[in-house]
Chains A and B, each alone.
Chain A
Amino acid sequence: MVEPLVVRPQGLYCPAGDFYIDPRGRVERALVTHAHSDHARPGHANYLVSETCLPLLKLRLGQEITAEGLPYGEIRRIGGAQVSFHPAGHILGSAQVRVEVGGRVWVVSGDYKPQPDRSCEAFELVKCDVFVSECTFGLPVYQWKEEGIIHQEINQWWSENALAGRPSLLFAYSLGKAQRVLRGLDPSIGPVFAHGAVHPFLPVYESSGVKFPKVQKPREGDGDWAGAMIVAPPAVEDAGWTRRFKGAQRGFASGWMAVRGARRRRNLDRGFVLSDHADWAGLLGVIEGTGAEEIKLTHGDGEPLARYLGERGIQASMLGGAPLRTEEE
């Protein structure tokens, strides 16, 4: 039996269609699951992404790239392969890639979460023979609460800080997490600001129907930031940029915040457990739901999940040669 996808140094490759999924290096044709930089890399000749991912990809990689957007669910024939994109529920435009060759079906999940997220398309379960699953949070200690509860926690924290006359500085990755956080903010508490890295993506989200409160860019220099909410990417955590927000309480929205040590190591006042990845129960539910006979795990430490699935009679292993990643979560 010929498998639709094989592992090459650049990433997952489809011999029948001569394309890669989320490759590194420089390739002729790249199918990209979503616009995070550890999946969407520059330098490829042709990109194929989901239709809603396209404007985000161009913001990230430049308007001049050769890229095409495919509506979710539409089947595209590439060489001997049939390809389609299906919502992954990770961020706006994120997709699982279904590849069928000679009746055999692989689904490459990219990053995904089955939990509801009102800032992006809902995850779609796709049946397949082989499921390539991420497993960023592949331990049972990771169990997410509903996003509504986390939004309440964030607003509660913000209003307490506002009452105390303090700014709230909330770190969240600039694409995806920041927009998810902004959407849930209650603008009656105070003014909302976001770092410049967050702004370009907002119109794309808005054109997909996501509504934000009024989001301003922080002015240079000193000002009165008491009661303000400032959303910024964690990359500026220590930069001079944050210095103007004197007396700010610092929070971070990430699945990693489920464990106290992660919050403490970063010297944060508050961690919000808000993740764009599947939690343990989400991983198990999706993996079983796909009906796949074989599971290939990517991203980091999947050994415990693979062993656990094996004990439950599901063949699972780490995908060899999977690109190493810097986790955007």
Chain B
Amino acid sequence: MQGFSELFHDLDEMTKTGDRLARMVEYFRAARPEDAGWAAWFLAGNRIKGAVRTGELRQWAAHRVSLPLWLLEESYERVGDLAETLALLVRGNQEAVPMSLSQVVEDGLLSLVSADPVEKQEILLGMWDRLRPMDLLPFHKLLTGGFRIGVSRGNLCKALAEVGGTDPAVIAQRISGEWDPRTRAFGQIVGEEGPDDAWCRPFPFCLASPLQEEPDTLGDPANWWAEWKWDGIRCQFLNEEKGAMLWTRGDESVGESFPELLGMAPHLPPGLAMDGEILAWGPEGLRSFSRLQKRLGRKQPGPSVLKKEPVRFMAYDLMRVDGEDLRTIAFGERRKKLEHLFEQLPAGFPLQLSPRVDACTWEELSRKREESRDRGVEGLMLKRADSIYSSGRVKGDWYKWKVDPFVADMVVVGAQLGHGKRANLYSDYTLAVLDDTGELVTVAKAYSGLSDQELKEVDRYIRKNVTGKFGPVRSVRPGLVFEVAFEGARASGRHKSGVALRFPRIQRWRKDKEPKEVDSLENLLGYARMGEPKQGDGPRTDDAGNLLLF
């Protein structure tokens, strides 16, 4: 654990992503390759299964420190983390000769998997003698499987890429799926990029600008292609003989969460890159974004989740096919090739083509846009038929013509200090509206959209009106009313108010309003009902699941 335990404790204490990244780079550079390989494997979220049952572990630990089991349980209740409780009780050996991570994994974890209970107890007693006090927390974290210390996979990839001088996308491909640090050396993980590695890198996403003028300023609608603006996760679907990947705009590789989409790879031509959106999609059609969250961050979902929370990939652009880069040809041409590709796909796949929203005039299109909320989409996308797939945002090529946001007045009931430029200023707010009994109920958290001057004024008010303290959050005497815009609302069982808002942000300070004048919860719940796609009113499909055009 030498080096690794220090890394663990540092990462655990660090609060900034950049600090964690630098610390990981430092570790990977200094560590022996066999240790670095295991460290990367654990940080990537892998775990050794079946090492020990926690019930037995608790018993043996209690026995080891001569405490009754009930007292260990009491301690666990207070500490709230089993690995930490065990580390605090067992304490370890101050004089121990530091063991390497790979040695601990092989002697202390892998050997447990095949051992019988008597052998397991012996192995653990041996480990507790051989580990330093600072090794115990990381050791028990590895042992009990819960290894979460604020390192995202994206950040890990960046660290490994920096160490090997390669691309984070290449690393992401190399550490995805099943791998074993004993057979895949650390050098292979971080090694230089070969000619075969380039495919797994996503293209820079082509982005749309918000449409801020009337659409007829765009000229003849015949030169434009309209589609629904889907409310899902935008992704690039890459396919090559060696594998497939799904990349989000946030540079996260999320393929492992969506095996039914990666499973389509054998049916797709190699050398492929498509742009599209992952959507929650049940037998009844499109589902709201919130359903998709049940799939996100869940690696290798089980069959019941796959069945209950199905998804689809709604394709709307094609950047590469058969290895040929199509980005500089016109959107209309790319679209034809995409349609051609879909014609060759068998029916019933969770892949769909995003349909064109047909309209002869801007007026007609504008009326269709009004259907957005009922359809569960965010509005329309307008793509110029001759536009190339550019890197980033090129004004005049792609527009998002979203429906107007919802707006509600809310009162600040809690505040938290901001970060960065806003450190030491209360700039993150908890906002509430009135329920039907006239009580304030929390509905959203939002960062300030206020001017620097207003921010200071609000900060002063909050410091003078703190009424309580819950961790980093201060409760605040109601008095500040803000106008808050949000993209949608949905019913939520997890929130006390019963409603969760999407992208809430503060638009302005309503100094003219009193806390008792804020919006009602009933209003927000009404918006939530509007935001749900209506049964049978979403994009329609035939029995085989193919999309019927509107």
Contacts and interface: CB of A to CB of B under 8 A. Distances in A.
A160 to B, nearest CB: 11
A265 B471 contact: yes
A307 B466 CA distance: 40
B8 to A, nearest CB: 12
B85 interface: yes
Interface of B: 12-13, 15, 65, 67-68, 70-71, 74-75, 78-81, 84-85, 88-89, 91, 417, 423-424, 463, 466, 469, 471-472, 474
Given A140-B65, A259-B88, 11 more contacts: A141-B79, A141-B88, A238-B469, A239-B463, A258-B88, A259-B78, A260-B12, A260-B84, A261-B79, A265-B472, A307-B71
Nearest to A142: B88
Contacts of B15: 267, 269
Contact of B71 (A140, A239, A243): A140
B14 to A, nearest CB: 8
Contact of B68 (A246, A267, A308): A308
Contacts of B91: 143
A221 interface: no
A259 B80 CA distance: 9
Contacts of B80: 259, 261
Contacts of B12: 260
B424 A304 contact: no
B75 A267 contact: no
Most buried by B among A142, A240, A258, A259: A259
A242 interface: yes
Given A140-B67, A141-B85, A141-B88, A259 B79 contact: yes
Nearest to A304: B74
Contacts of B78: 139, 141, 259
Contacts of A258: 88
B538 to A, nearest CB: 42
A266 B417 CA distance: 12
A140 B62 CA distance: 11
A327 interface: no
Interface string A212-244: 000000000000000000000000001110110
Contact of A240 (B67, B463, B474): B463
A211 interface: no
10 contacts: A140-B71, A140-B89, A141-B79, A141-B85, A143-B88, A143-B91, A238-B474, A259-B84, A269-B15, A311-B68
A140 B423 CA distance: 38
A308 B74 CA distance: 11
B145 to A, nearest CB: 18
Contacts of B471: 265-267
B417 A238 contact: yes
A139 B75 contact: yes
Contacts, number: 61
Most buried by B among A243, A260, A269, A311: A260
Nearest to A303: B74
Contacts of A183: none
B469 to A, nearest CB: 8
A242 B88 contact: no
Contacts of A267: 15, 417, 471-472
Interface string A234-277: 00001110110010000000000011110001110110000000
A266 B472 contact: yes
The 8 closest A-B pairs by CB, nearest first: A141-B88, A265-B471, A267-B472, A243-B424, A304-B74, A141-B75, A139-B75, A259-B79
Nearest to B12: A260
A311 to B, nearest CB: 7
Interface string A295-311: 00000000010011001
A260 B9 CA distance: 11
Most buried by A among B15, B466, B474: B15
A265 B469 CA distance: 11
A267 to B, nearest CB: 4
Nearest to A301: B78
A17 B89 CA distance: 44
Contact of B81 (A238, A242, A261, A266): A261
B71 A304 contact: yes
A113 B70 CA distance: 26
Contact of B13 (A143, A242, A270, A308): A270
Contacts of A270: 13
Nearest to A245: B424
A58 B89 CA distance: 41
A142 B89 CA distance: 8
B533 to A, nearest CB: 39
Contacts of A269: 13, 15
A215 to B, nearest CB: 24
Contacts of B75: 139-141, 304
A65 B81 CA distance: 48
Most buried by B among A139, A258, A311: A139
Nearest to B15: A269
A261 B81 CA distance: 9
